[in-house]
Chains A and B, each alone.
Chain A
Amino acid sequence: MKKWMNTAAPVLVIGALLLLWELVVWFAGIPLYVLPAPSDTLKTFVQEFPTLMYHGGITVMEALVGMGISFVVGILMGILIDAMPAFKKCIYPILVVTQTVPVIVLAPIFIIYMGFGYAPKILTVVLMCFFPIVVSFSDGLGQMEEGYLNLVRTYGGSRLQLYWIVKIPSAMISLLSGLKVAATYSISGAVVGEWIASQGGLGYYLIRAKNGYMLDKVFACVVMIILLSLMMNGLVKLFGWMFTPGIRKR
């Protein structure tokens, strides 16, 4: 009963809010260009699904490439931060500063430097995604119990083996947490980049729909962005499930 309630409660709350929204729009007679009802959004989502899929494909591609670059950069920087305290002291403040500048400010600058292609969008994704990966991974590397490291040392393990055999696998849980955050940000990052200037992607679709006061399409696009963000999060969970079987059975 309790388990059923845990699942049903959020569904019921969301359902009730959507119903309230629907009723307010219908009874108040709010026009479509001000606030579309959930039923209008759903109808538009179904009608526009092929177009949303096309633009969504571009956004996902940018997000995946950005995530891939963030992953590689994040792993390398995480190891360097853990292995070299001096590097951490030098680089950590810069990493924090990069996160204090709003992406919406940086995206137009990237477009000036890199043109209207995929590169500035991917860079926007990287900027949003690499920070949680670096922080979570370097923290995970630093939290390994000294006893494990001593054991490998007494067995004659090299520093490289210390990382490969013990530290990196032990940091996987922290890394997965960072990756989940980054995956959720990745779609938004790509959309922000497309929003500024692009010829395709959900950001491009969104700005065109907004300029035409087609708010049902804007809302349908938001639904698509939410679904794709959840999908990226799910991919990270799947990655974790596949590559960390021992951690599942702890």
Chain B
Amino acid sequence: MRLEVRQLSFSYTDQQILRNLSFSVEDGEFVSILGPSGCGKSTLLNVLAGILQPLGGEILIDGEEKKEISGSFAYMPQNDLLLPWKTILDNVCLYGEIHHRKAQMKEQARAQMARFGLQGCENKYPGELSGGMRQRAAFLRTTLCEAGIYLLDEPFGALDVITRGDMQDWLANLSSSLKKTILLVTHDTDEAIYLSDRILILGAPGEGIREEIRITEKNRTREWLYGQGEMRLKIHRIIKEKQRNGNEKEE
């Protein structure tokens, strides 16, 4: 599914966060959004997911305008948000339960458990799993949503460094086989470089996209990532520069 955002605006009562923001994500593309804290990364995902209502602008999916919450987006927030009283199998089938297709979805989920490193966890409760396994369960729940576009809001932000690295490796392998359009919000520059086809860097609130970086490397490894110091530095400079410009404007 192709996502196109045109002139999107959103404002909290005291501050405009998104002003005439426009960008597009091609079908099957993995795009990360980086930017300083408070620039509107998560707000953008919340608007796309339908949790927040935009002030103006258009959201087009495969050229058609999306008006309300649709089945096009599968949203995964930073916290795994697994319901603690439900087993892992019931949790990952939440979408099926809501749409009265639970039995059918359970079959699909069982078939996917091993792929997501969750074999044998079907009847366990979230409290019995590690942070990484819980995130994988949350990701499986997202993929079972039958949506064409995944909105991932810092999905590994709450994990420790080692687990986060493992999860990034896992997602890198998985995303190529999923063939879905993915929009990832992250604070982690390395995560964005390692996983994305394209990185969009947001400026200060209301400034919109200040820079776009395309990553063409197909054979990505940790060693390749460690050699991307220049790109990392460039991204940090862009983020800091814009922050400084923003501060100067305020001053």
Q: Which residues of A contact B (CB under 8 A)?
A: 145, 147-148, 150-157, 161, 165-166, 169-170, 172, 244-247, 249-250
Name the residue on B nearest A151 (C-beta).
Answer: B81
Name the residue on B nearest A247 (C-beta).
Answer: B85
Which of A153, A154, A161, A244 gathers the greatest number of chain B CB atoms within 10 Å?
A154
| 14 A/B residue pairs, CB under 8 Å, sorted by A | A147-B81, A150-B77, A152-B98, A154-B50, A154-B69, A154-B75, A155-B95, A156-B98, A156-B99, A165-B83, A165-B97, A246-B85, A247-B84, A250-B125
A196–B79 alpha-carbon span in the complex (Å): 56
From A147, A157, A166, give the contact of B77 (CB < 8 A): A147
Name the residue on A nearest B46 (C-beta).
Answer: A150
From B71, B77, B87, give the contact of A151 (CB < 8 A): B77
- Does B107 make an interface contact (CB < 8 A)? no
A41–B49 alpha-carbon span in the complex (Å): 68
| Those 6 A-B pairs whose CB atoms lie nearest each other, nearest first | A246-B85, A250-B127, A249-B125, A154-B75, A157-B98, A246-B125
Determine if B85 and A169 form an interchain contact, defined as CB atoms under 8 angstroms apart. yes
Name the residue on B nearest A158 (C-beta).
Answer: B98
Determine if A246 and B50 form an interchain contact, defined as CB atoms under 8 angstroms apart. no
A166 to chain B, nearest CB (A): 7
Determine if A156 and B125 form an interchain contact, defined as CB atoms under 8 angstroms apart. no
Name the residue on B nearest A173 (C-beta).
Answer: B85
Residues of chain B lying within 8 A (CB to CB) of residue A154:
49-51, 69, 73, 75
- Does B145 make an interface contact (CB < 8 A)? yes
Q: Which residues of B contact A (CB under 8 A)?
A: 46, 49-51, 69, 71, 73, 75, 77, 79, 81, 83-87, 94-95, 97-99, 125-128, 145
Residues of chain B lying within 8 A (CB to CB) of residue A161:
98
A135–B185 alpha-carbon span in the complex (Å): 40
Known contacts A246-B126, A249-B128; 5 additional CB pairs below 8 A are A154-B75, A156-B99, A157-B98, A246-B86, A246-B87
User: Given A147-B77, A154-B50, A154-B73, do A246 and B98 touch, yes or no (CB 8 Å)?
Assistant: no
A109 to chain B, nearest CB (A): 42
Residues of chain A lying within 8 A (CB to CB) of residue B77:
147, 150-151
A92–B184 alpha-carbon span in the complex (Å): 45
Determine if A169 and B83 form an interchain contact, defined as CB atoms under 8 angstroms apart. yes
Determine if A153 and B84 form an interchain contact, defined as CB atoms under 8 angstroms apart. no
A114 to chain B, nearest CB (A): 40
